[in-house]
Structure 1
Amino acid sequence: MTSAAAPEWQVAAWLNASSPVSLARLRGKVVALYAFQMLCPACVSHAIPQAKQVRQIFPRDEVEVLGLHTVFEHHAAMGSAALEAFIHEYRIDFPVGIDQPSGQGPLPLTMQAYQLRGTPTLLLFDRQGVLRHTLLGAVHDMQVGALIAGLAARTTTAPPHQSHGNDGACRI
């Protein structure tokens, strides 16, 4: 990615949101978007709890936390009804988008546009909507907190950075 604003997410539906969520409407906030699958072990054990912690720690007027259910395997088992039950059972209170399925193969459209390589993946956007960090796998809470705090404090732009968590990713 360049220093230009990232592409909009292609979402079939938003859960836990009163209206559609877009990157453009979130300008001025740091955005932490957790791409996950409800049957991904690292997503359930690490990414979802971490997203909930980020939501609790950072002020909502500064940092927006979102989920993106981006299914690239076991499509039949992870439909919208199952996702709604999952969100209820795991008490997820932030907006969760359902990545738009592709008619051309197993990878949904936002996953393709961002060239995601598996789940969980954390995408961190700066206040201008520029993708600054792509983190695949289980990433330590301290690292995520430091990256978000750095983006929240930053007013200048710098080249984006990609890094990887240490384990547990469901890779494509």
Structure 2
Amino acid sequence: MAHSVEEGEAHFQPAPDWDVAQWFNAEQPLELAGLRGRVVVLHAFQMLCPACVRLATPQAQQVHEQLAGPELVVIGLHTVFEHHEAMGPVSLEAYIFENRLRFPIGVDRPDGHGGLPLTMRRYGMQGTPSLILIDRRGRVRQHSFGHVPDLALGAALGTLLAER
């Protein structure tokens, strides 16, 4: 599923708040409202997802290294909907360290019943990897399930960064 940056104004929906149980690479919890005025790249992943490990998470790190700053922020969301026992905070911390991930990563809060984590459900994600682009006004401008090619992501980010 992909909603495009280019869709008409009427299709833009406010981005739901995320519900994060724990943060890594962040001095304090990050709230979506506190990021207004910046383009937000929300990268939802699981550390045991092959496409996340091979393609999407390295891409998120690359975007962070090349574009993060006062205009853009990359936020990782570790959203576990399967293999819960294998992907706890200790394992995630090792994964972050071993892959040299430097962007803030939140752990999506479980629903407490073994179902979809809360932020994953709020955004209507189909799985991982998922990429959500949020504009400076806090609206979802792209929602993609699966890896987004670098060139397409670069074009979408260029469009959003050019908007004032």
Query: TM-score, length-normalised on structure 2?
Result: 0.91
Work out the percentage of aligned pairs sharing the same amino acid: 53
Which of 58, 61, 80 matches 2:70?
61
Aligned counterparts of 1:3 and 1:59: Cα–Cα separation in 2: 23
For structure 1, the residue ranges without an aligned partner over 5 or more in a row are: 156-172
Aligned counterparts of 1:41 and 1:4: Cα–Cα separation in 2: 30
Q: Deviations over 1:53-84 (max 9, x none)?
A: 11122141111001000000100000000000
Question: Which residue matches 1:6?
Answer: 15
| Counterpart residue type for residue 103 of structure 1 | G
Question: Which residue matches 2:141?
Answer: 132
Question: Which residue matches 1:98?
Answer: 107
What's the offset of the Cα at 1:98? Answer: 0.1
Question: Which residue matches 1:117?
Answer: 126
Q: Deviations over 1:104-163 (max 9, x none)?
A: 3321000011110000000100001111101111111010011011011123xxxxxxxx
Aligned counterparts of 2:68 and 2:32: Cα–Cα separation in 1: 18
| Counterpart residue type for residue 108 of structure 1 | P
Asked if the contact 2:68–2:74 (Cα under 8 Å) also holds between the matched residues in 1, the reply is: no
Which of 75, 81, 89 matches 1:72?
81
Q: Deviations over 1:27-60 (max 9, x none)?
A: 0000001000000000000011101111122141
Bigger shift: residues 143-152 or 55-64? 55-64
RMSD of Structure 2 on Structure 1 (CA): 1.3
Aligned counterparts of 2:154 and 2:34: Cα–Cα separation in 1: 23
Question: Which residue matches 2:59?
Answer: 50
What's the offset of the Cα at 1:3? Answer: 3.3
Aligned counterparts of 1:59 and 1:76: Cα–Cα separation in 2: 32
Aligned counterparts of 2:51 and 2:93: Cα–Cα separation in 1: 19
Higher relative contact order (CA 8 A, sep 6+): 2
Aligned counterparts of 1:74 and 1:104: Cα–Cα separation in 2: 14
More helix by share: 2
Aligned counterparts of 1:67 and 1:89: Cα–Cα separation in 2: 16
- What secondary structure, in the 3-state scheme, does the structure 2 residue paired with 1:7 have? coil
- What secondary structure, in the 3-state scheme, does the structure 1 residue paired with 2:96 have? helix
Aligned counterparts of 2:121 and 2:145: Cα–Cα separation in 1: 15
Question: Which residue matches 2:42?
Answer: 33
- What secondary structure, in the 3-state scheme, does the structure 1 residue paired with 2:15 have? coil
Question: How many residues matched?
Answer: 155
For structure 2, the residue ranges without an aligned partner over 5 or more in a row are: 1-9
Asked if the contact 2:110–2:116 (Cα under 8 Å) also holds between the matched residues in 1, the reply is: yes
